[in-house]
């Protein structure tokens, strides 16, 4: 211990003597380890942390798929869910839920401030299936699932605390949801989320087994639990068999449809699995670069201590003692870097969580925990051994007599030591190029994504969701919207107002099958699906969605007027490829209503900027029955400036009307690209760190090389070398290292970037421009990093250089 303490003290003194080298080494280690720890903490939370349910490995999500229609993750029809639940033997239990929004307008003590709540309609057995026990009260009973007997509610822990003061006697009390009385049966524990979707309240599924229309609608997310010992394959086979029976029983609903079983973990993290692996790979490269950087710095420092170690050997130190001393010094540096890195990781996890919570499922729960701390310590120790061992072994094996007499023989740098350092810097450049190319591809992809025309003008648009009561007739809802529009139009700064049931870039929303009137109608299971939208007359103008042909809706398109629709260009091109669809008609399922096409508008991205365009059918709002509408307000000023005036106008129109999700359209677009932005940002930060580390590494190696070659440079000048010859000598070596590193990096990039294909939009993984620009940039930086020491070499006085040792 005494010896260790002495070695550590000596090491700290040596590091203090060369603060520049020490600082660079510490920063390199801290950045490498901090970034690695942060990303692995995130990966742990997202990919590895238990799902928070009982035996989550047995949980599945059951979608419906129709490969012929290229649909693989459709909500399940309610009737099919009931049949699976009654017929399956491989799944020990099956539950279902639907995301909805409900208005909270009353509490146990009467009216309260209205609030729109995120809610889920759930089957009675869903929470027992998941293993979730209420904190207060009880769960739903099977009878409470039946239509007409379903006015019960389970509260979330946060809602219970926030609106009901955590009152433990809430169970049995009445609240008002959707304009009706609901009895609270219990409160769930904190943090209950199904498939990462937060809810404030749960109400029973309320399925009417006699309501064919509801049973034939696909709107349920189904969760199943495998019987112990059963496999996914067995469950898939069984449900396929059941699906075959259901197809025979109801071909109109089920022809071509089968269940699609996905393990719950894969459902949650499947879309981010690959990108997270890419980020983990990139941060591992970053850590390698940091280690190589530090290795080179310490190799150089170690080489300069050759005489000291030779003297120690001459004074009797055994080889093992010298190895121990050098290892102790290296481990001390690694430990210090590890502690700094841990601090960086702490901040990094917080930053990643804030940046990516909207983009990455389960990220909000990411924390630095003790396992990650141990990982960081292990990385520090391994790094210490890696870069402590090589110079330790190299130096301790040196012939002390030769080292002591070094000034007599050979005045220029040792060959093998130079080869090792050059090899390290080549590998550093190759790794940095790899990370830089990855970041470059993502950045180009993100720029392309942001350049995609969403089909409307998002700037200066304020949006707000108005959950109208479904019990109110459509004509009163129309009147409310008209009244509200009138108030909004009078506000200074408001240019136009519209409304729609589903904003672009927020999801596919409601869809229905249709057929073209006057043409042979395909069987129902083969009919195309179109997105269904209910809009007010000024919606298109407000959103700046262009009119391609025909007309927009007018005030005369009332509920009593003939059925009229506007279609988008995708629908028009597909079904009227060489004709104008104006005047044509569509037959809309399930009602069979025939509607005349009066206009064609431009396509609008329904879900993602890089997603497909869907056939879309717009109806005048009075001719629909949507109760949740989104107002869009085009403003002459930044939309946020009008937020409070708009909200006030809503409450003046109806004091009980909640306003939800008020945000600018720019924020909606931002949210739509948040995943791509997160990945791009993180990899860009890694690339900058890799860039900096590579430049520092090159500078360090070249500077050290110049100092070691000072006598040689003196000899060359004494033999007639001009400053230009010296520059060419040093920069030439730098250029050769850079060229080799870049060549290796390019080869690795060509092999590895194809793993990023799913993350890219509009850019090939082997995009030539990206490869070329990054290579040139890194080459230029390498030369620049080598130039400074070269200048010093050029200015050497030969006499002084020849005396240098």
Judged by beta carbon, residue 228 or residue 724, the one nearer other proteins is 724
Judged by beta carbon, residue 44 or residue 725, the one nearer other proteins is 725
| Contact indicator for 24, 341 with CB cutoff of 8 Å | no
Type and span of the H or E element at 625: none
Report, in Å, the least distance between residue 797 CB and other proteins.
7
Judged by beta carbon, residue 339 or residue 715, the one nearer other proteins is 715
- Determine the Cα–Cα distance for residues 681 and 351; give it in Å rounded to an integer: 11
Report, in Å, the least distance between residue 791 CB and other proteins.
15
Judged by beta carbon, residue 304 or residue 641, the one nearer other proteins is 304
Report, in Å, the least distance between residue 411 CB and other proteins.
6
Judged by beta carbon, residue 407 or residue 560, the one nearer other proteins is 407
189 DSSP assignment: P
Report, in Å, the least distance between residue 801 CB and other proteins.
9
What does the DSSP assignment read for 401-449?
HHHHTTTTS--S--HHHHHHHHHHHHHHHHHHHHHHHHHHHHHHHHHHH
Q: Characterise 248 by phi-psi region: left (phi > 0), alpha (psi -120 to 50), beta (else).
A: alpha
**Which backbone phi and psi does 752 adopt, to 5 degrees?**
-95, -30
For residue 409, the tally of other CB atoms under 10 A from its CB is 7
Judged by beta carbon, residue 521 or residue 800, the one nearer other proteins is 800
Report, in Å, the least distance between residue 730 CB and other proteins.
14
What does the DSSP assignment read for 546-582?
PEEEE----TT--SSSPPEEEEEHHHHHHH-TTS--T
Say whether 144 sits in a helix, a strand or coil: helix
Report, in Å, the least distance between residue 795 CB and other proteins.
10
Judged by beta carbon, residue 592 or residue 720, the one nearer other proteins is 720
Report, in Å, the least distance between residue 726 CB and other proteins.
10
Judged by beta carbon, residue 365 or residue 798, the one nearer other proteins is 798
Report, in Å, the least distance between residue 19 CB and other proteins.
25
- Determine the Cα–Cα distance for residues 583 and 559; give it in Å rounded to an integer: 19
C-alpha 780 chain-centroid distance:
33
Q: Which residues, including other chains, have CB under 8 Å from residue 41's CB and lie 6 or more apart?
A: 345, 349, 366, 367, 368, 369, 372
Judged by beta carbon, residue 422 or residue 569, the one nearer other proteins is 422
Judged by beta carbon, residue 1 or residue 719, the one nearer other proteins is 719
| Contact indicator for 497, 632 with CB cutoff of 8 Å | yes
What does the DSSP assignment read for 741-780?
HHHHHHHHHHHHGGGGGGG-SS--TT-HHHHHHHHHHHHH
Report, in Å, the least distance between residue 794 CB and other proteins.
11
Report, in Å, the least distance between residue 276 CB and other proteins.
47
Q: Is the dihedral of CA 420, 423, 427, 429 positive or negative?
A: positive
- Determine the Cα–Cα distance for residues 599 and 619; give it in Å rounded to an integer: 11
Judged by beta carbon, residue 596 or residue 725, the one nearer other proteins is 725
| Contact indicator for 383, 334 with CB cutoff of 8 Å | yes
Site for other proteins, rule CB under 8 A: 407-415, 418, 711-712, 714-723, 725, 797-800, 802
| Closest C-alpha to 60, from 31, 29, 33, 93 | 93
Q: How many residues does the chain have?
A: 805
Report, in Å, the least distance between residue 705 CB and other proteins.
12
Structural Rg of the chain based on CA atoms: 34
Judged by beta carbon, residue 409 or residue 578, the one nearer other proteins is 409
């Amino acid at each position: 211990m005494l010896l260790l303490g002495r070695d550590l003290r000596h090491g700290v003194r040596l590091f203090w003597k060369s603060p520049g080298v020490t600082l660079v080494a510490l920063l390199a280690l801290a950045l490498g380890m901090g970034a690695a720890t942060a990303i692995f903490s995130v990966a742990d939370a997202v990919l590895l942390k238990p799902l928070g349910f009982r035996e989550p490995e047995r949980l599945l999500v059951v979608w419906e798929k129709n490969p012929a229609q290229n649909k693989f993750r459709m909500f399940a029809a309610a009737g099919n869910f009931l049949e699976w639940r009654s017929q399956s033997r491989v799944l020990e239990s099956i539950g279902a839920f639907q995301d909805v929004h409900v208005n909270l307008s009353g509490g146990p003590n009467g009216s309260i401030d209205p609030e729109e709540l995120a809610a889920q309609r759930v089957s009675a057995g869903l929470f027992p299936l998941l293993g979730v026990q209420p904190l207060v009260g009880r769960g739903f009973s099977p009878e409470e699932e039946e239509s007409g007997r379903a006015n019960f509610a389970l509260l979330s822990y946060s809602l219970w605390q926030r609106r009901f003061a955590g009152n433990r006697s809430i169970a049995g009390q009445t609240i008002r949801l959707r304009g009706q009385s609901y009895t609270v049966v219990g409160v769930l524990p904190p943090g209950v989320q199904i498939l990462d979707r937060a809810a404030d309240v749960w109400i029973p599924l309320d399925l009417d087994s006699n309501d064919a229309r509801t049973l034939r609608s696909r709107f349920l997310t189904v969760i199943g639990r495998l019987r112990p010992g059963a496999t996914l394959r067995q469950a898939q086979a069984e449900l396929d068999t059941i699906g075959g029976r259901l197809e025979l029983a109801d071909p109109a609903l089920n022809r071509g449809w089968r269940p699609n079983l996905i393990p719950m973990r894969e459902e949650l993290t499947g879309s981010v699995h690959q990108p997270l692996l890419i980020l983990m790979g990139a941060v591992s490269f970053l850590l390698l670069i940091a280690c190589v950087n530090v290795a080179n710095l310490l190799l150089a420092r170690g080489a300069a201590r050759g005489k000291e170690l030779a003297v120690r050997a001459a004074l009797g130190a055994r080889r093992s003692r010298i190895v121990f001393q050098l290892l102790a010094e290296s481990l001390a540096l690694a430990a210090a870097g590890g502690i700094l890195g841990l601090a960086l990781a702490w901040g990094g996890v917080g930053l990643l969580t804030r940046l990516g919570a909207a983009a990455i499922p389960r990220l909000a729960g990411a924390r630095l925990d003790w396992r990650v701390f141990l990982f960081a310590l292990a990385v520090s120790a391994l790094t210490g051994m890696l870069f402590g061992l090589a110079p330790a072994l190299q130096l301790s094996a040196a012939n002390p007599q030769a080292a002591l007499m070094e000034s007599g023989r050979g005045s220029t740098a040792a060959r093998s030591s130079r080869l090792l350092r050059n090899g390290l810097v080549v590998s550093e450049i190759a790794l940095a190029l790899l990370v830089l190319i990855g970041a470059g591809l993502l950045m180009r992809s993100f720029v392309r994504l942001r350049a995609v025309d969403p089909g409307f003008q998002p700037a200066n648009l304020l949006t707000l969701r108005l959950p109208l009561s479904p019990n109110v007739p459509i004509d009163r809802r129309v009147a409310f919207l008209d009244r509200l529009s009138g108030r909004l139009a009078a506000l200074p700064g408001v240019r136009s107002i519209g409304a729609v049931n589903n904003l672009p870039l927020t999801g596919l929303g409601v869809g229905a099958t249709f057929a073209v009137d006057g043409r042979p109608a395909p069987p129902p299971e083969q009919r195309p699906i179109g997105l269904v939208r209910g809009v007010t007359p000024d919606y298109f103008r407000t959103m700046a969605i262009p009119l391609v042909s025909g007309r927009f809706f007018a005030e005369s398109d009332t509920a009593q007027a003939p059925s009229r629709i506007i279609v988008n260009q995708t629908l028009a091109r597909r079904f009227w490829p060489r004709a104008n669809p104006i005047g044509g008609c569509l037959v809309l399922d399930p009602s069979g209503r025939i509607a005349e096409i009066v206009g064609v508008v431009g396509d609008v991205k329904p879900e993602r900027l890089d997603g497909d365009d869907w056939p879309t059918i717009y109806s005048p709002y009075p001719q629909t029955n949507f109760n949740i509408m989104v107002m869009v307000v085009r403003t002459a000023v930044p939309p946020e400036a009008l937020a409070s005036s708009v909200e006030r106008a809503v409450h003046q129109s109806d004091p009980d009307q909640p306003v939800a999700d008020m945000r600018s359209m720019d924020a909606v677009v931002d949210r739509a690209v948040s995943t791509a932005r997160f990945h791009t940002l993180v990899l860009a930060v890694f690339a900058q760190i890799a860039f900096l580390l590579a430049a520092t590494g090159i500078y360090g190696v070249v500077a050290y090389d110049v100092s070691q070659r000072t006598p040689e440079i003196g000899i060359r000048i004494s033999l007639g070398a001009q400053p230009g010859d010296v520059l060419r000598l040093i920069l030439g070596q730098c250029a050769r290292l850079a060229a080799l590193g870049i060549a290796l990096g390019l080869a690795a990039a060509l092999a590895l970037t194809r793993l990023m294909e799913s993350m890219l939009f509009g850019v090939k993984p082997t995009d030539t421009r990206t490869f070329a620009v990054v290579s040139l940039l890194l080459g230029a930086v390498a030369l620049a990093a080598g130039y400074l020491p070269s200048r010093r070499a050029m200015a050497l006085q030969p006499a002084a250089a020849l005396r240098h040792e």
